[in-house]
Amino acid sequence: MIDKNLIEISGDPFIIEMMYARKENMVGQDVYQQIGFGNKAYIHKDMWACLQKLIPWLKEHKLKMKICDAYRPPLAHKKLKEIIPQPGFFASAPERSQHCHGTAVDVILTDENGNELCYPTKVDAYRPDFAKEVQSGNFKDFFEYLKKARHDYEDASIPKEIANRRELKNLMESIGLVAISNEWWHYDLPNGISETYPIIEFIPE
Compute the average pLDDT of residues 27-38.
96
**pLDDT tens figures, 102-127:** 999 999 999 999 999 999 999 999 99
Q: Minimal CA–CA distance to 97: which of 203, 193, 198, 33?
A: 193
Confidence band for 100, pLDDT divided at 50, 70 and 90: very high
Mean pLDDT score of the chain:
96
Question: What's the number of domains the chain is made of?
Answer: 1
Largest Cα–Cα distance of the chain, in whole Å?
50
CATH label of the domain that carries residue 175: 3.30.1380.10
Percent of the chain clearing pLDDT 70 (strictly above)? 99
Give the dihedral sign, CA 180/47/75/12. negative
pLDDT at 74: 96
CB atoms within 10 A of CB 180: 14
The gap from C-alpha 112 to its chain's centroid, in whole angstroms, comes to 20
Compute the average pLDDT of residues 135-157.
96
Range of the domain at 168: 6-188
